[in-house]
Amino acid sequence: MPAMTAVDADAPAGAGTPAEAVGPLLRGVTVLRRLTEAGGTLSPSALERATGLARSTVDRITGTLGRMGYVRLDGRDVVLTPRVMELGNAYLAALRLPALLDARADTLADELDESVSLAVADLDGVRFIHQATRRRALSVSFRIGDLLPAERTAPGALFATEWTEADWTRWRERRAQDARDASFPAVPPRADPTAAPCSPPPSPDSFAQRVERARRDGWAVDDQLIEPGLVAVSVPVRDPGTGRVACVASVVSHTSRHSAADLRTSLLPRLRTAVTAMETDLRTAPAPEPGPAPAGLATWTTASKHELGRDFVESLARGLTVLTAFGEGRAAPSLTEVARATGLSRATARRALLTHEHLGLVAAHPDRTYTLTPRVLDLGFPALSRTTLPRLAEPHLRALADTAGEPTALAVLTSDGKEIQYTAGAGTSRVLTVQISVGTRLPATATSLGRVLLADTTAPLSPTLTEVRSQGYALVDEELESGLRSIAVPVRDRAGRTVAALNVSTHAARRTLRDVVADLLPALHATAAHIQQDLHTASRFTHVPPS
């Protein structure tokens, strides 16, 4: 789909833009989209060029997004942070399909030793909502939130079996405007038809033929439509209430493992069995209980405006918080319910919803309810959906090292439980300092990091580990090396399990044991809380590897 053209901060709304649309919200969404398309990082000057906005506008928008925790400044760059994934999480929670079906997809991937995906329709495109991937040197997968053109996928042919004539017209217009698929950054662009030699792109007639074949067979195959070597077989998962395609499950492989013809005989039967089980899960799932609604958002944005003044764009912040009013048990709220969930006035919520509808992020329905669309995943999700815990923790480690004036580190327990492995760290400019490289392994029992990890995973516990578990931290005094003192706390996942440990190290001459606890432990706990908050947001619908 063609990129949205931003309007300058002082310019009137563009043609087709509703008169009541919130201009700062339009521009803020543009900034988030451009950051996402760039992989999550752009300099302010690059954002200025990519959006067409004035530099002062870019600075105010990124400052506001920073206040919301959606971006951070890293040197001269603006970087998306895991907190922005709460917008995509709101869509995925409201959709419910990942929560209900991802376990089936993961099990199928394990059984077949192939990647398995779930996708939904996004107008004339296909967008992924779950990925169960194989960890190989040559792996096949897309990121959650990635958008692909329907005609270059097997799921697209299945979704197109339900297209109206208006849908086909929109698809033809999009192909005429973007013959090379340049507006789909997740796929390789088509060859330039004016260059030679080149193979001609698939014709519209060939896609129509594949759609008819999918309608007849009830399944579809992607035989290297996206790029050479990639093959997939797909089966629709139908909504038990309407009989329409709710999502499409696919097994994805490459031609060195399976030919397209082989997919039908070797993978399709098991995929169909899994889809039948998925449809049973949809039919028997209890109605969702509404989760907790966001609280105090309107009060927070007002306080931020009072504190930061003109540098905080309150209408942008309030407009984005409207998206978080949706979720499990709140898939289709009314205007009143949106206003109540966010604490905003009905007038403010209505203008934000109208703006989001214009942007394609929200759909309005005749019964005066609203739903989020898959396009919400454009707002940062793909760029962050493959983050790891070390990558997520690094900015927090740097901030802690700067504040404490001491080096910090993150570590995990090795599979045998005997050693720890350092996965991330941040140093200081001191002459006498701890320098341990990422990847280094040390005995778990002799380190504060190891004791924190063992205290949560070992049974029965020694007296030392019992004390660590009871007090919530481990303090090691010159046991690993003379003069080295270290204090560590756990980092816990959404289920409360300790998945990593975080520490600060110092020299015995700089701080007494009492000082280590009094001066460093509070900052250590605060940093662990920040890492956990990011981890919990990022891992709600994606897998975040601990190393």
**Tens-of-pLDDT digits for all 547 residues of the chain?**
333 333 333 333 455 889 999 999 999 999 999 999 999 999 999 999 999 999 999 999 999 999 999 999 998 999 999 999 999 999 999 999 999 999 999 999 999 999 999 999 999 999 999 999 876 555 666 899 999 999 999 999 999 999 999 999 999 999 999 988 988 988 888 766 554 444 445 566 699 999 999 999 999 999 999 888 889 999 999 999 999 999 999 999 988 888 888 888 999 999 999 999 999 999 999 999 887 777 778 889 889 988 989 899 999 999 999 999 999 999 999 999 999 999 999 999 999 999 999 999 999 999 999 999 999 999 999 999 999 999 999 999 999 999 999 999 999 999 999 999 999 999 886 645 567 788 899 999 999 999 999 999 878 889 999 999 999 999 999 777 777 899 999 999 999 999 999 999 998 878 889 999 999 999 999 999 999 999 999 999 999 999 8
Residue 401, token pair as written in the block: 């090292």
pLDDT of res. 527: 98
- Tell me the longest C-alpha to C-alpha distance in the chain: 78
- Give the residue from 364, 97, 88 showing the smallest Cα distance to 245: 97
Contact (Cβ atoms closer than 8 angstroms) between residue 7 and residue 14: yes
pLDDT of res. 484: 85
Residue 482: exposure state from Cβ atoms within 10 A (0-12, 13-18, ≥19): exposed
Helix/strand/coil (H/E/C) assignment for every residue in 237-270: EECCCCCCEEEEEEEEEECCCCCHHHHHHHCHHH
Mind listing the domains of the chain with CATH numbers? 23-89+291-384 (1.10.10.10), 97-284 (3.30.450.40), 389-538 (3.30.450.40)
C-alpha 166/C-alpha 172 separation (Å) is 10
pTM attached to this predicted model = 0.91
Distances in Å between the Cα of 391 and the Cα atoms of 15, 85, 240, 415, 533 are 42, 15, 41, 21, 14
C-alpha 61/C-alpha 477 separation (Å) is 47
Any bridge partners for residue 249, and if so which?
118, 235
Distances in Å between the Cα of 36 and the Cα atoms of 2, 175, 391 are 15, 23, 17
Contact (Cβ atoms closer than 8 angstroms) between residue 56 and residue 64: no
Radius of gyration of the CA atoms of the chain, in A: 26
- Cα angle at 232 between 231 and 234, to 5 degrees? 160
Residue 252, token pair as written in the block: 């994805």
Phi, psi of 162 (to 5 degrees): -110, 10
389 CB contacts (<8 Å, ≥6 apart)? Answer: 410, 423, 424, 491, 499, 500, 531, 535, 544, 545, 546, 547
Any bridge partners for residue 505, and if so which?
486
C-alpha 179/C-alpha 153 separation (Å) is 16
pLDDT of res. 261: 87
- Give the residue from 315, 511, 285, 252 showing the smallest Cα distance to 404: 511
DSSP state letter for 501: E
Number of alpha carbons in the 13 Å side-chain half-sphere of residue 93: 23
What amino acid is encoded at 146 in this protein? D
Strands across the sheet containing 71-74 = 41-42, 77-80, 71-74
301 CB contacts (<8 Å, ≥6 apart)? Answer: 314, 317, 318, 321
Residue 296, token pair as written in the block: 């105090």
